[in-house]
Structure 1
Amino acid sequence: MFASEPSVDQAPTTVPQPAPPQDSSPSEGPVSRRRIVVVGTVAAVLIAGAAAGAWAYGGDVPRGTSVLGVDLGGMSRTDAERALTNGVGPRTSHPVAVSLAGKTFSIEPADIAMTLNVDLSVGRAIRSGNPALFGGRTVPPVIELDEAKLEAVLRGQVGPKQITMKKPGIGYAGLTPEATHPAPGKNLDVAAASAAIRQSWLTGGVAVIELVTRPPATTAEQVDGLLAGLAVPAVAAPVTVTVGDRSFTLTPKAISKGLVFRADDNGLLTPAIDGVRLHAAAAKEFAKVETPPEAAKIVLKGGKPKIVAGRPGDLVDLNLLGPALLGMLPNPGPRAVTASLTSQAAALTDTDLARLGIKEKVSTFTTYFTGGGGSPRSQNIMTIARAVDGALVLPGKTFSLNGHTGERDYDSGYQDAPVIVGGKLEPGVGGGASQFTTTLFNAAYYAGLEDVEHKPHSFYFSRYPAVIESTIFYPTLDLKFKNTTPHGIFIDTSYTNRSVTVTMWSTKVYDSVKTVLGPRRDVTSPPTVHREPGPKCITSSGLPGFTQDAWRVIRKDGKEIEREKFTWRYDPEPRFICGEKP
């Protein structure tokens, strides 16, 4: 209703006249136009607002929202996940560049289990807030990684001198525990490093990580508490361990070996029972209640390898004994704990051996020695032969003679016999072991196994094949060969009063393995050397020096498949005379 019309309850004072047309009334025209304009403007604003709202709130992801440079605004959740995967996915295999305490390197995502969680990243974008009508909004992605793996990788890149934080510790000097108090120093801040890695990956940036000054997780007061409350009473009395109707005793000395205090990289000191160390320190006591497993083995019977089945054993369950013992050690004596046995399978079962295909002789080699079986040198040959007898070399594994026998010393049963020291023959413990080494080398050589390490003698000895021989000296000279066949190798050794033999049993892979020798060349005569008489002087008649080549020829399926060259230069062995030159 217009403003000039009478109210419905007002009595007219004149005869009503027909109203003139609205567009010709001088009093109504401007007001009507103004109202039309106002109403029209409001309508336009409402329409525009509705359109803007529809635009801003269209889809699941608010308009103007991006993740890692990918615009997801206005998309449904499914479309946003697809867009983020397509836009960023190819970059997720890229390494992240790192600068750690001034050292630059890169980390592969797989090494720290780092992945982009697309689902959670889009969910974060959906919940990011109101639409950005002007400009845009960047939402950080959800990147997951394994912080323990990250810490291991980073610590592998830090020099030991860069970490200056002093870790706490407790150790035993005999039965007396001694404490090491911690102190603050430079260390990794794994949480900060993880944040820097997440921020830089997929953006092409460099994660800058600095070492920070941090206190150890365990304080000096806590170390003293562990010392007085656990380390001291732990070795004050023995502990009786009962297993069923049997028992054994852990002495304070054994306890001091098994109780350990380990500090992690953040300086957290934790007591624990090291079951392996405890068992080793009290092996004779544990044996009172245990039955050790017996591994299956191969024996030669009737000229053929036979498998003797092993059996499982019953051992004290160290995983259960450890916590029980740790809880008892703070208490005063007498102290006792109960333990149980657990079945322990043999390290090698008869089924394992059967799979190895050890069924026939694949090589054998014999060398001869003088002096009879009673000489120190012969005894050394027999001793090392016994140590290697029955050795098993699994497919893909490398056999080390030094590693198998350990140091060949007096305690191991070796005697003094001639060895080459500095180009001279002198008495030395284990002399003669090189003859067995040559015998073993040839057996492996003719079995077609890979030569990993060997060194011929500096002088030629007629009891050995030229070039195809080897010496040994612990720990600097070793004999190593690798089993490159798909079958196991069983090494059988035997000896008489004048010879030693090494035989290898497996499944034949090659038709034949033979040696082709080239002629000797560059022959040189031995000089005469006078030495001071005494226990270190050993006379010799001397031998010429020469160079010679040898080829190992391997045939398979009627064809030559390998020809390997070996070359060696022998020095002339001097004619040693014990006495002054006339």
Structure 2
Amino acid sequence: MTSKSEWFGPQPPAGARPDDTVILNEAPDGSVSVPDGADATVPLPMSSATAIIPAARQAPPQERIETPPPPPSPPRKKRKWLVAASVVALLGAGAAGSAAYVTTGDIPRGVEVLGLSLGALTLAEAEKALRDHVAARSAQPARVRLDGKDVTVPAESVGLAFDVPATVDAAATSGVRFFGTKSIPPAVRVDEAKLTAALRKQLNTERVTVRRPAIAFRGVEPVVAYGKPGLDLDGGLAAERVIAAWPTGGVADVPLTTRTPVMAREQVDALVDEVAKPAVAAPVTVTVGAKSLVLTPAAIAKGLVFRADSTGRLTPAIDATRLRTAGATEFRKVETAAKPASVRLQDGKPQVVAGTPGRLVDVTKLGPELLKVLPATGSREVTGVLATAESETSVADVTKLGIKEKVSTFTTYFTGGRNAPRSQNIITVAKAVDGAVVQPGATFSLNKHTGERNYAKGYKDAPVIVGGVLEPGVGGGASQFTTTLFNAAYYAGLEDVEHKPHSFYFSRYPAVIEATIFYPTLDLKFKNTTPYGVLIDTATTGRSVTVTLWSTKVYDSVKTVYGPKRNRTSPPTVQREAGPRCIATSGLPGFTQDAWRVIRKDGQEVEREKFTWRYDPEPRFVCGGTE
């Protein structure tokens, strides 16, 4: 509305309007504007009433005759503000003060996050305050109602965390306000892949009915499975709902959704024809420097995989681990294996020896090169590069094993000299075991360590017990080493896992505390129950084999206490057909005996373990003829 007055008496200064009155117009955005000639645009709060502010300068009292008011104006949607012009400067000052009030600090006043007011704080202050505020919440797991089942997911395992800097940035740019508060949702990050994997582990797999397409190989023949619509976990939806619910401790409702694999049958078939089949149609030559290796179709089929993403789209890829395993023999032609750090005896004492790095084909870089040529037919060649491969066992790893002193040693004796077939077998198996290290908590298996003892490994025919009869067999004599190793482990106080004494007693072995071996049915196993590594050191002469174990001593002593022999039996006489398989013997009596392993530590007996064995009488074998 407008108002008009007339002055009687002294006139206003030249250029001034009567009563210095101005009319401020309200704009649609809630601001009011000063007509031409006024000072500024002044933001004012909207009101349902017209505000009339008296002018700062009043005229001298005069008799004033007001003219009749004009007829009413037509109705308008918005009112205008009538303000005294002399107050414009004051309003400008007030507006400046208001602006200063609401913009103090980096965060506008009235801004809050999770109930914490951040208004008027600097960015640094806001970050610290918010970080303290959400510290307890950050440790809380995500609560999820997964397909109707309540589960929890540890926040740290899926990368679920508050992004404090991003939240504060959002608060700082949220806009200035004069009244009220504005709540800013916290920024939260999560590893969608890890979250999806974690939820799948707790999902009833029978409820997942979607089938993604798949391409695999049976030998070198591609095998196809086509996709099928069905229920599945939507990782994106799960992440979105967990992010929304977790900050306030709410439960994220994550249902299964119906999904359809994006690849149709025709697209899967095209991938088979264009990639899978040509990939295994011919070998690929890999040139590495001046050397080369050949990846056969069988090796390619092992290394080539088709991975389906969450939408069911297949993508060919090279599985580096599978390819290296399948092509191990070929890769070795161009590679140098890394040598691990080890412990060896030098000058009669264990010394840690540093390993050396190897040079291996970089299969990760080779993969993309292979994918380029696999769809091609005919001769195919790619270039490979070698990468340095550090040993998996470092000097520090070996040092912490604590292999520093002799903890047990045992020697057995044999006849025939160093060149006898039986002696050669003892020497061969001793060399195969020399330098082995048994890690703390590990179980050593002699059969597993040496593998089958056959002619290819240098073993010879010598007498073995087969079905209660002595006859030549490959590796005869390995039992003598087995007995020697068993006793070294026994007197080191290591745990007996598996051993079996001979069926006949031989005076070269201690009764009961001895062991035989036969691949693969009879084995010697013992477990390192100490917190230190155990080094197996073997040595042979023309008449003896010795096994010494090096570690850190745990026990004061380990001794054997024997009981008397009982249930003695005499050897029978057995006639055998003369020939190379018959070995004549004079026979030995049988008996039963007990033996106790007594272990002392810190001056006290800590273990007494009983061993018992019954020996059959060894027959007096007569080869051919009659007695």
After superposition, the Cα gap between the structure-2 partners of 1:294 and 1:214, relative to the gap in structure 1 and judged at 3 Å, is: same
- How many angstroms apart in 1 are the aligned matches of 2:344 and 2:118? 72
SS, match of residue 270 in structure 1: strand
Corresponding residue for residue 365 of structure 2: 320
Count of residue correspondences: 524
Aligned amino acid, residue 136 of structure 2: P
Deviation (angstroms), 1:123: 2.6
* 2:499 and 2:524 in contact (8 A); partners too: no
Query: C-alpha deviations, 1:54-112, integer Å up to 9, x for none?
Result: 69835454554431122334555454434323333233223333333344443333222
Cα drift, residue 179 of structure 1 = 1.8
Q: Which amino acid aligns with 1:398?
A: A
SS of residue matched to 1:390: coil
2:237 aligned with 1:195? no
Q: By how many angstroms is 1:240 displaced? A: 3.2
Query: Aligned partners of 1:143, 1:308: CA distance in 2, in Å?
Result: 50
- Specify which of 551, 554, 564 is matched with residue 601 of structure 2: 554
Per-residue CA deviations over 1:449-490 (Å, capped at 9, x if unaligned) read: 6x4x625659999755768989998699943215523xx543
The corresponding residue for 2:531 is 484
Q: Output the CA distance in 1 between the equivalents of 2:503 and 2:600.
A: 23
- Greater C-alpha Rg: 2
Structure 1 distance, partners of 2:102, 2:338, is 72
Supply the distance in 2 between the matched residues of 1:505 and 1:489 (Cα, whole angstroms). Answer: 6
Q: Secondary structure at the match of 2:282?
A: coil
1:97 to 121, 143, 155: 143
SS at match of 2:531: coil
Query: Aligned pair 1:215/2:260, yes or no?
Result: yes
Residues in 2 aligned to 1:419 and 1:72: alpha-carbon distance in whole angstroms: 87
Matched, 1:109 2:109: no
| Residues 405/168 of structure 1: CA separation in 2 closer, same or farther (3 Å cut) | farther
Aligned-partner residue type, residue 564 of structure 1: V
User: Does the aligned pair in 2 maintain the 1:407–1:475 contact within 8 Å?
Assistant: no
**Please, which of 109, 112, 115 is the counterpart of residue 69 of structure 1?**
115
CA distance in structure 1 between the aligned counterparts of 2:7 and 2:436, rounded to whole angstroms: 122
**Alpha-carbon offset, residue 553 of structure 1:** 1.7
Query: 1:544 and 1:250, CA in 2 relative to 1: closer, same or farther beyond 3 A?
Result: closer
Over the matched positions of the two proteins, sequence identity in percent amounts to 40
CA offset digits 1:295-314 (Å, max 9, x no partner)? 67666688666888876555
Conserved? CA contact 1:402–1:479, under 8 Å? no
Instruction: Give the letter for the 2:112 counterpart.
Output: S
**2-side partners of 1:574 and 1:160: how far apart?**
58
Q: Check the 8 A contact 1:390/1:491 in 2, yes or no.
A: yes
Q: Of the candidates 532, 535, 547, which is equivalent to residue 502 of structure 1?
A: 547
- Provide the residue aligned with 1:564 in structure 2: 606
Aligned partners of 1:418 and 1:432 also within 8 Å: no
> Which blocks of at least 5 consecutive residues in structure 2 are unaligned?
12-59, 70-81, 571-586, 620-627
Which residue of structure 2 aligns with residue 34 of structure 1?
none
Shift of 1:359: 6.4
- TM-score, normalised relative to structure 1: 0.68
Determine the C-alpha separation between the residues in 2 that align with 1:118 and 1:460.
Answer: 74
Show the counterpart of 1:269: 314
Q: Which residue of 2 aligns with 1:398?
A: 442
Alignment partner of 2:173 out of 97, 108, 127: 127
Q: 1:107 to 1:434 in 2, by over 3 A?
A: farther
Cα distance change of structure 1 residues 308 and 493 upon mapping to structure 2, 3 Å threshold: same
Aligned amino acid, residue 443 of structure 1: A
Q: Structure 1 residue 336: deviation in Å?
A: 2.4
Q: Distance in 2 between matches of 1:55 and 1:101?
A: 52
Check conservation: 2:213, 2:226, Cα contact below 8 A.
yes
Letter in 2 for 1:124: A
**Contact preservation (8 Å) 2:263, 2:313:** yes
- Partner AA of 2:497 in structure 1: H
Residue 327 of structure 1, CA deviation: 0.8
State how far apart, in whole Å, the 1-side matches of 2:145 and 2:480 are: 56
Q: How far did 1:190 drift? A: 1.8
TM-score by length of 2: 0.64
Distance (whole Å) between structure 2 residues aligned to residue 385 and residue 461 of structure 1: 23
Alpha-carbon distance in structure 2 between the residues aligned to 1:465 and 1:219? 73
Q: Which amino acid aligns with 1:107?
A: V
Amino acid corresponding to residue 363 of structure 1 in structure 2: S
Query: 1:477-517: CA deviations, max 9, x gaps?
Result: 943215523xx5431235689875421235x5468433375
> Mean Cα displacement is larger for which, 263-272 or 466-475?
466-475
